[in-house]
Amino acid sequence: MSDWEVVIGLETHTQLNTKSKIFSGSSIAFGAEPNTQANVVDIAMPGVLPVLNKEAVRCAIRFGLAVDAEIASRSVFARKNYFYPDLPKGYQISQYELPVVGKGALTIQVGEQEKTIRITRAHLEEDAGKSMHGASPGQSGIDLNRAGTPLLEIVTEPDMRSAAEAVAYARKLHDLVQWINICDGNMQEGSFRCDVNVSVRRKGDEKLGTRREIKNLNSFRFMQQAIEYETRWQIETLEDGGKIEQATVLFNPDTGETRAMRSKEEANDYRYFPDPDLLPLAISAEEIESIRSEMPELPAAMKSRFEEAYSLSAYDASALTASRNVADYFTATLQAFGGEAKLAANWVMGGVSAKLNEEDKNIADSPVSPELLAGLIKRIADNTISSKMAKEVFEAMWAGEGTADQIIDKKGLKQVTDSGAIETIVDEVLAANPAMVEEFKAGKEKAFNALVGQAMKASKGKANPAQVNEILKRKLGS
């Protein structure tokens, strides 16, 4: 299998953060009673017409700027014609030849590696409704509340070479659209859905293999599983002498398998043509500039700022800018702490995120606020407590037992840094362990560590380890 290479491209449908639909004044709020948010335009009554939502266009421009893409001064809406009960007009209004956002790029981090994924285009379009099964037997029920919800479809080049890369890209994009506030990123509600094009080829082959498209993946875990299964399936099929038919497939989370959609079997002929009900969308340079001026600092820029200003590693910097919330939390912590960034970074990426994962919490809801965390880090920096003690204090803070200082007092966790006191402890330890002293003198380095351990134990862990080391060395005359 190792001589095979998988080639992956993504098409992501992001639901835009607007109040009303892309072509009508109906609400897009999630979870309303069926068809209570579907007006005459949304259900395509005779004679009704679309009018474009300004905010949807602004969202598209924000995205274009965020991935450093060209934004079309003139783009065109086209009709994609096909019959489906959840598509009221019998066509979807989308963009075809002239999309609003052109070529761009998004850099992802896979382990220690950075990789740039090329974005082919992003275009505005309307969402379809939903088909509910198991209404009456043999029937489907159609809910058109979602019909006309504004979407930005973001298409990449086939630049990914593993499920891990695909998921890394999807996560990065998911973070970005929330970072620039064009999408709520709610995958359960379908606000962020990925179609994944997967093909395989022999390593070194120039030509791409026939691809199959896995539709509507709305969880990163499923995406990983689906791509891995699909890749295995394609390789096995080819190795067994079979060939891959281009197809649209669905992933079944229960079986972990993909299967071709029956409804899409017949080759589609979408008969795209410019929608005569809509005029060309013009976007002026002034408009783009005014939106650019409102853009927040982007993760990439913030990342390099962290690397330079705080001399953090690329890895740390990208972890800290993975999402707006993490970045905000780190910045706030560092501000309150005012000390070495690396120390704050370690705690945000270490202790805090570990606990969050454990409890499946978002950093925004962390029981330990940046201010509280900073209070803890201060005490580590000024040697009041050892990092070992710090963990204990952190746990207590997480449990809501108060500020670092309150907990340190309550638990009497202060380090002993008085060298006189430490010297007495060391002397006692040396006197009590002549054998170890002999072993050390005989050249057994381990013995030294054992003595340190004894000293720490004798101080109930409160002695400053660095000082213990130093004093022991001196006393043993080494």
Partner 1 sequence: MSLSTTDVKRIAHLARIAVSEAEAEQTLQKLSGILGLIEQMQAVDTTGIAPMSHSQDVTQRLRTDVVTESNQRELLQSIAPAVENGLYLVPKVIE
Partner 2 sequence: MINKSLKQLAAMLASKDISSVELTQEYLNRIDRYNPEINAYIALDQEKTLAQATAADQMLAQGKASALTGIPIAQKDIFCAKGWQTTCGSKMLENFIAPYDAGVIERFNAVGSVNLGKTNMDEFAMGSSNETSYYGKVQNPWDRSRVPGGSSGGSAAAVAARLCAAATGTDTGGSIRQPASLCGLSGLKPTYGLASRYGMIAFASSLDQAGPMAKSCEDMALMMNVMTGFDERDSTSLNREKEDYARDLGKPLAGLRVGLPKEYFAEGLEAGVAKVIEAAIDEYRQLGAEIVDISLPNTMLSIPVYYVLAPAEASSNLSRYDGVRFGHRAAEYDDLMEMYCKSRAEGFGAEVKRRILIGTYVLSAGYYDAYYLKAQQIRRLIAQDFERAFEQCDIILGPTAPSTAFKAGEKADDPVAMYLQDIYTIAVNLAGLPGMSIPAGFAPADDGKELPVGLQIIGNYFDEARMLNAGHAYQQVTDWHTRMPEGVTS
Contact flag: residue 410 with partner 2 (CB under 8 A)? no
- Residue choice 90, 253, 350, 367 for contact with partner 2 (CB under 8 A): 90
Which of 282, 354, 364, 432 is in the footprint of partner 1 by CB under 8 A?
282
The listed partner (partner 1, partner 2, none) that binds 79, CB under 5 to 8 Å by sort, is partner 2
49 binds partner 2 (CB under 8 A): yes
How many Å apart are CA 278 and CA 27, to the nearest integer?
21
Amino acid at the residue 463: A
Q: How many residues bind partner 1 (CB under 8 A)?
A: 55
Minimum distance from CB of 261 to partner 2 (Å)? 14
Q: Count how many residues are written for the chain.
A: 478
Could you say whether residue 141 binds partner 1 (CB under 8 A)?
yes
* C-beta separation of 295 from 180 below 8 A: yes
User: Do the strands 150-156 and 4-15 form a parallel or antiparallel pair, or are they unpaired?
Assistant: antiparallel
Given the rule CB under 8 A, which of 83-91, 332-340, 385-393, 427-435 is the region that contacts partner 2? 83-91
Instruction: Please enumerate in sequence order all residues whose Cβ is within 8 A of that of 145, keeping only pairs 6 or more positions apart, or say none.
Output: 32, 34, 35, 36, 37, 38, 129, 130
Q: Determine if 228 is a binding residue for partner 1 (CB under 8 A).
A: no
Give, as one character, the DSSP assignment of residue 365: G
With CB cut-offs between 5 and 8 Å by kind, which of partner 2, partner 1, none does residue 191 bind?
none
Interface with partner 1 by CB under 8 A: which range of 28-36, 293-301, 305-313, 457-465? Answer: 28-36
Q: Which pair of structure tokens corresponds to residue 308?
A: 């330079």
Q: How far is the CB of 232 from partner 1 (least distance, A)?
A: 23
Provide φ and ψ at 132, rounded to 5°: -95, 130
The smaller minimum CB distance to partner 1, of residues 33 and 206, is found at 33
Based on the shown chain and the rule CB under 8 A, indicate whether residue 290 belongs to the binding site for partner 1.
no
Closer CB to partner 1, 25 or 338, in the complex: 25
Report which DSSP code applies to 443. Answer: T
Residues 39-68 that bind partner 1 (CB under 8 A): 39-40, 43, 45, 51-57
Q: How far is the CB of 182 from partner 1 (least distance, A)?
A: 13
Residue 31 touching partner 1 (CB under 8 A): no
> Which of these, 297, 296, 364, 298, lies nearest to 326 by C-alpha position?
364
- Tell how strand 91-95 and strand 281-282 pair up: unpaired
388 binds partner 1 (CB under 8 A): no
33 binds partner 2 (CB under 8 A): no
Q: Does 342 bind partner 1 (CB under 8 A)?
A: no
Q: What minimum distance in Å lies between the beta carbon of 247 and partner 2?
A: 18
Residue choice 269, 294, 358, 360 for contact with partner 2 (CB under 8 A): 269
Measured between alpha carbons, how far is residue 50 from residues 53, 84, 281 in Å? 9, 20, 13
Closest CA to 389 of 367, 412, 373: 412
Q: Is the dihedral of CA 146, 147, 149, 155 positive or negative?
A: positive
Tell me the HSE value of 137 on the side-chain side, using a 13 A CA sphere.
0
Residue 442 sits in the site that holds partner 2 (CB under 8 A)? no
Determine which residue in the list 24, 258, 454, 459 makes contact with partner 1, applying CB under 8 A.
Answer: 24
Work out whether 43 is an interface residue with partner 2 (CB under 8 A).
Answer: yes
Least distance to partner 1 from the beta carbon of 263, Å?
6
Near partner 2 by CB under 8 A: residue from 278, 381, 430, 476:
278
Contacts 24+ apart (CB under 8 A), 469-478: 471/419, 471/422, 471/423, 471/426, 472/426, 472/448, 475/426, 475/427, 475/430, 476/430, 476/437, 476/440, 476/441, 476/448, 478/440
Which of 127, 143, 153, 316 contacts partner 1 by CB under 8 A? 143
Which three-class secondary structure state does DSSP give residue 80?
Answer: strand
Q: Are 114 and 135 in contact (CB under 8 A)?
A: no
Check binding of 326 to partner 2 (CB under 8 A): no
> Does 280 engage in binding with partner 2 (CB under 8 A)?
no
Distance CA 153, CA 11 (A): 7
276 binds partner 2 (CB under 8 A): yes
Would you tell me which residues interact with partner 2 (CB under 8 A)?
A: 40, 43-52, 79, 81, 83, 85, 88-91, 142, 144, 269, 271-273, 276-279
Would you tell me which residues interact with partner 1 (CB under 8 A)?
A: 18-20, 24-27, 33-40, 43, 45, 51-57, 74, 77, 83-86, 131-133, 135-136, 138-144, 250, 261-263, 269, 271, 274, 276, 278-282
